[in-house]
Structure formats: structure tokens, C-alpha cells
Amino acid sequence: MLGVAPKTLTTFLSSSFPFISRNPPSYSHSHSHSHSHPKLSFSFPKPITITAVANPVHVPNRTADPLTPGQFRVDILSESLPFIQKFRGKTIVVKYGGAAMKSPELQASVINDLVLLSCVGLRPVLVHGGGPEINLWLSRLNIQPLFRDGLRVTDAQTMEIVSMVLVGKVNKTLVSLINKAGAIGSITAVGLSGMDGRLLTARPTPKAADLGFVGDVARVDPTVLRPLIDNNHIPVITSVAADEFGQPHNINADTVAGELAAALGAEKLILLTDVAGILEDKEDPKSLVKEIDIKGVKKMMEDGKVGGGMIPKVNCCVRSLAQGVRTASIIDGRVPHSLLLEILTDEGAGTMITG
């Protein structure tokens, strides 16, 4: 992106979203436009002091006087226009977890980014897990969490707690936060589990004998989601689903996000993680691979350059791309406004995998 440093852009975009309100069906302009466009209106706060801005925006025919805060904000918003046009009306599936879920500041960043993206015409869908919150409640109930090969052992008692925490607490907390952040622009969230509307049907994993009620996605039926998305709601989906006999299962949230993205024909799948992305050298945090195709990332896996917890994330991305998702990104959720960086700048915020 020209003119403005990406992090400067995302900071100003995120601070602007309370002043961007949506009121379909048309722009607030004297000329008529398509009814599919949201109404965008802008207002700006009282003047503030802006210092140390890298590469200030150049505007032809402007006087030598310094830009006012309002002018500067509008210039930054205008530079995001090509990206907004590219993704406008497109479905973006975001898997939310890790540090971005544990830190109140990062959580607020993600929530605000989702609302802003919805305000400017994108169609975000949020999928979440909640491992730390599950562990907290297991501890409060004096139940020791058990893991095998990085997967939670989920017996009947643990499954009840997983459902209680993910469906009843984490999901509704996120819905409430989005509703609060989106109040100005009438952006609302609707919380669902995989069991609602038979959105997801689970099947036991091959290791069910060792892991209990841990499942994979057997089938996706997005019928219940489409009217929500079409009416500008943000679906918030937790990774609990029932099998064909009605038994709830705990499913990996990355897997759920990937399968939902494919079923919805999403433009983009984004996995928020606690790492910078895929690294060429796992020991060198500066060796970030910014963009790679399926063939290239499979070669990295064969060469042992992708390992540990990154393997299931990459597999999830590759599977979604094979089913028609345009791009899949693994981004650093520890970076504030990483969603805006990934979607509204050339720089991005991690690794983008293409088909």
C-alpha cells in the first residue's frame, strides 16, 4: 500500500470504525446507487495531535499547511479503498483463539476489526474454541485435564463441561462483545454451535477409543447461516457438534473453520495463531514465508520445515483451498489489528496460502 505505513493505516481504520455507520440499501449521496451497497457516513472527532507518521500521504494541489486530523484520517481510509472493493460482499471465515482470546486488549482489537469489516461491506464469520477457559472450569471443578498427542481427552463428564463453557459462556460472551462494539452501526452477532440447525454433523475420530468424544466434521449444512450472513449479522460459531445419534463431540476449531469456509464458498479463511506464520527456518522468527502455494507448502511439510501444531493448521488450509476457498492465511494474532493488516494491506500479517 502506498503512502501510509500499514500499521499506521490499521490504527486509524480501527479508530475510525465508530464513525462509519451502515444503513442499507444505498450510500448517503445525492446520486442513486445499487441497493446492494451499504450506506457509509463519516464524521470525525475533535482535533488531535499526530506525530511521527511514516511516509505521510501526498495529496496534489493541497496547500502547504499541515493536514488536519480529519483530512489525514480520510486520506488513510481512501488508501484502503482497493482492498475494500476487492473483498466487499465476500465471506471471510476467521478462526479465533490463542493469545488473541486470552488478552483483553487483543480481544477488543479482534472484535473491533470484525465490526469494522462488516461496516464496510465484508461478510465475516467467526469460529472459536476456548481451551484455556475449559481448563479453568475443569480446575474449578477439581477435574484434571488430560491430553494425548496434543488432543484433549474428552470423557462424558468433560464433554458436559466443554459444552457448558464453549456454548454457554465463551460463545455468548463474544456475541455480547460484538453487539456492544457494533451498536453504532447496527452490527449484530448471532451465536451458534454446530448442533444448531444441524449446521455441523460430527463423527468420532479414528482415535475415539483413546480420546473419547473428540470428533471430526462429517458434514456441513450452512442453510441456517446463509440468511444470517445475507442480513448482515456476524455468525459466531463454537466447535461443538453432535453425531448422527445426537451425541455431542468436541471438534478442533481450525477444522470447523476450514470446513465452514469451504461450504460457504468463502473468499478467505484466516486462522489467528500465536506465531508469526509459517517459517522457512523454525528457529529463525525472521524467516517468515509471506506467500506460498499448496505445492510449496506440501514440499515444506515433506522436508520437515513445518511441524508440531502448525501441521494441522496447514492441513486445514490446504483442505479448504482444495474445496474452493480462494486463499487461506495463518496470521499472528498477537499483533493488534492483525485482521485489518491481513485484509486491507499488501503487507499482510502472516502467511497466505494460495491454491
User: What are the catalytic residues?
Assistant: 95, 98, 131, 254, 313
Burial of 152: CB neighbours in 10 Å, binned 0-12, 13-18, 19+: buried
d(CA 309, CA 100): 17
157, containing H or E segment: helix 156-163
- Evaluate the CA torsion angle 88, 94, 96, 99 in order and state its sign: negative
DSSP assigned state of 87? H
The helix/strand/coil state of 180 is helix
Length of the chain: 355
The helix/strand/coil state of 233 is strand
Supply 269's cell numbers: 479463511
Which is nearest to 114 in space by CA: 19, 169, 179? 179
> What CA–CA distances, in Å, run from 184 to 22, 36, 37?
9, 20, 18
What's the pLDDT at 40? Answer: 39
> What CA–CA distances, in Å, run from 120 to 16, 84, 295?
11, 7, 34
Q: Can you list the residues of the chain whose pLDDT is less than 70?
A: 1-73, 75-76
d(CA 100, CA 161): 22
Residues 6+ apart with CB under 8 A from 12: 72, 73, 76, 77
What's the pLDDT at 164? Answer: 95
Q: Which residues on neighbouring strands pair with residue 291, listed in sequence order?
A: 352
Residues 6+ apart with CB under 8 A from 66: none
- What is the 3 state secondary structure string of 295-336? HHHHHHHHCCCCCCCHHHHHHHHHHHHHCCCCEEEEEECCCC
- Give the pairing of strands 248-251 and 214-220: parallel
What's the pLDDT at 97? Answer: 86
Which is nearest to 87 in space by CA: 40, 124, 112, 115? 124
Cα dihedral 328, 334, 335, 338 in deg (nearest 10): 30
pTM: 0.81
Rg (CA), the chain: 21
